[in-house]
Amino acid sequence: MDFFIIYVVLFASILIHELGHYMTSKLFKVPVYEFCIGVGPKLYSFFRHGTEFQIRLFPLGGYIYNNELKYERLNLLEIYIICLSGVAFNFLVFTLCLLASLDFNFDLLKTALMNVSHIIIQSFRIISLKRIYILENSLSTLFHSMKGTFFLFFLTIVNLTLGLTNLLPLPSLDGNKVYIATMERLLEKFHLPLVNKKKLSVTLNLILLLFILILFI
């Protein structure tokens, strides 16, 4: 039973995340060609409004594939909104779950969010998986003193983890997309030559990796 709950929660959390990207892409009139939840063998798919929606076997990721030309014509703020909307949706679900676990006691919610916010702010000094793990342990302790099911607890943890992890500037994560888009626009602003997109992305990620290594040495 616990395995089934874990499976459903992972799928639901990824769906929530990708819905954020999908809805904001539609908001800015960027066509979305694929909306995929999960990886591995395809379990089910259907077409609707020009988009192929897919469900795959393993709930270990997801993506949307949109029209790159229209996406790149957006201003930087609109790109930020699309990139970070998945994270925003996960944080919204996290907050709602936390509220539900506190029996909708807004005073307790305020205290809990202040504690969590403090840890998150500290984490952003240098975002790392270790700090996310510390945050999860703090939330676990918090939940043991509350009323709540395993489903609610796991849904809260997964959405918080998914949101924070996607802020990391690592390749394929949302934070990296924000970083790449920002650097590309800076190069354009200062009229510096742009090379092939893939080569530029690799170069920028290598620079980022070097910077991270310097921070940790």
Which tokens sit at 18?
């990708």
Give the pLDDT confidence score for residue 110 in this predicted structure.
63
pLDDT band at residue 129 using 50, 70 and 90 as cut-offs: low
| Rg of the chain over all Cα atoms, to the nearest angstrom | 19
Which DSSP string corresponds to 150-190? HHHHHHHHHHHHHHHHTTS--TTSHHHHHHHHHHHHHHHHT
- State CA 141 to chain mean position distance: 24
Mean pLDDT of 91-106: 78
If you average pLDDT over every residue of the chain, what do you get? 80
Residue 211 binned pLDDT confidence (cut-offs 50, 70, 90) = low
- Integer Cα distance of 55 and 191 in angstroms: 43
3-state secondary structure of 125: coil
Calculate what percentage of the chain has a pLDDT beyond 90: 43
Please name the helix (run of DSSP H) or strand (run of DSSP E) that holds residue 63, with its range, or none.
strand 51-66
CA distance 189 to 117: 35
- Is the pLDDT score of 147 beyond 60? no
pLDDT at 130: 52
**Residues in Cβ contact with 30 at an 8 Å cutoff, skipping those fewer than 6 apart:** 66, 67, 70, 71, 74, 82
Are the CB atoms for 19 and 2 separated by under 8 Å? no
Residue pLDDT, tens place only, 116-125: 666 555 555 5
Give the pLDDT score at 112. Answer: 62
pLDDT tens for residues 87-97? 999 999 998 88
> Is the confidence at residue 126, as pLDDT, over 50?
no
Name every residue whose Cβ is closer than 8 Å to that of residue 2 and which is 6 or more positions away in sequence.
Answer: 150
Task: List pLDDT tens digits, range 12-58.
Answer: 999 999 999 999 999 999 999 999 999 999 999 999 989 999 999 99
Q: Model confidence over 170-191: pLDDT tens digits?
A: 888 999 999 889 988 888 777 6
Mean pLDDT of 197-204: 65
Lowest mean pLDDT among 11-20, 60-69, 109-118, 124-133: 124-133
- For the residues 96-102, what does the mean pLDDT come to? 79
